[in-house]
Amino acid sequence: MNELSALRGLRADAPLPDADELAAPRARLTAVLRQETRPERVAHARRRTLLVGAATAGALAVTTGIVATLPDDSTRAPASKGPQVLSAGASADALELAAATVEQHDGTEPGPKQWVYEKSTVFVQGEPQSSEEWTRWDGTGHANLPGIPPSGDISDFDPDQLQVWYGPNQEEKRKKEGYDDRSQRQFYRFLATLPSDPGRMMKRIREEHAIGSIEGETRAQRDWREISVLYRSVLIPPNVQAGLFRAFAKIPGARVTTGVKDPLGRAAIGVRVSYAEKTPSGWQGRQEFFFEPGSYAYLGESRDDGEMVSARAAWGVVDKPGARP
């Protein structure tokens, strides 16, 4: 499935903030998360504090712009003694802060002839394998590095040569033939129609998304699996970004973790669940999503069974295949 949506604002002219500009909002965000350790925490009062703080954190997200290439150091992470799992109440507050932040992202679409770029890394038996992909917004083109070898004689095949494919209009094919796949533009526009309320949003996704149900699976397990597929998209409308964070808060056992690192070793905030027994989909153990502290950009995910360990190193919108943000 070739589905995409807006983890970031799409304003190419927006300047990146410098370290001094980010220091104050990051410090406020850190202070809010650390309040979790107080046993006498009053949820209602803290929620008001978090929502006020979200306006500052949201400014950070909006000014970050269209391109995201994240560093491998820990300068973005709040000081921590190591990974900490927040309580249920503090996790809900942190997820509401994330939702309030990403709601302020710019949801401008790319042009039909622009290309969505993603550099990703998957881990196969613990070994990283990186690749780059370009997908044209209207669904008529795709490009890869390294290239995919053809069948038959590959003696002249060069994996380091950009491989570009152009094809028939995917959107027209879907309209005429009931083709299951959507162009990135079609999927983005479908997501943009979803209600922001997390319960109604996930209901629509369960009804209209193509991954299908599994006998015996609980609604929470299905929602977690749906979210895992959605985050494989690079561009997600702001209302859906916010809805996904609020949907996390409704999944029993979901917790926010601080002081963690993503699969590439970058400082991150996590959202995790843990399945003591194998689910009907075959998942067991800890499942965790990783987000960049402050902007809440998606960084990757991991599963204890090792079947899914992936990270997004860079992404953005460019004007031609082979170009990088």
Q: How confident is the model at residue 174 (pLDDT cuts 50, 70, 90)?
A: low
Q: What is the mean pLDDT of residues 85-93?
A: 96
- pLDDT of 179 > 70? The answer is no
Q: What is the pLDDT of residue 306?
A: 64
List pLDDT tens digits, range 125-157: 888 999 999 999 988 899 999 988 777 777 778
- pTM for the model stands at 0.72
Query: At a CB cut-off of 8 Å and minimum separation 6, what does 235 contact?
Result: 4, 5, 6, 7, 8, 10, 110, 116, 184, 188, 317
DSSP letter assigned to residue 35: G
Q: How confident is the model at residue 177 (pLDDT cuts 50, 70, 90)?
A: low
Q: What is the pLDDT of residue 73?
A: 39
- List the domain boundaries for the chain: 1-325
Q: What is the mean pLDDT of residues 66-91?
A: 62
Residue 151 or 17, more confident: 151
Place of tokens 């060069």: 158
Q: What is the mean pLDDT of the chain?
A: 77
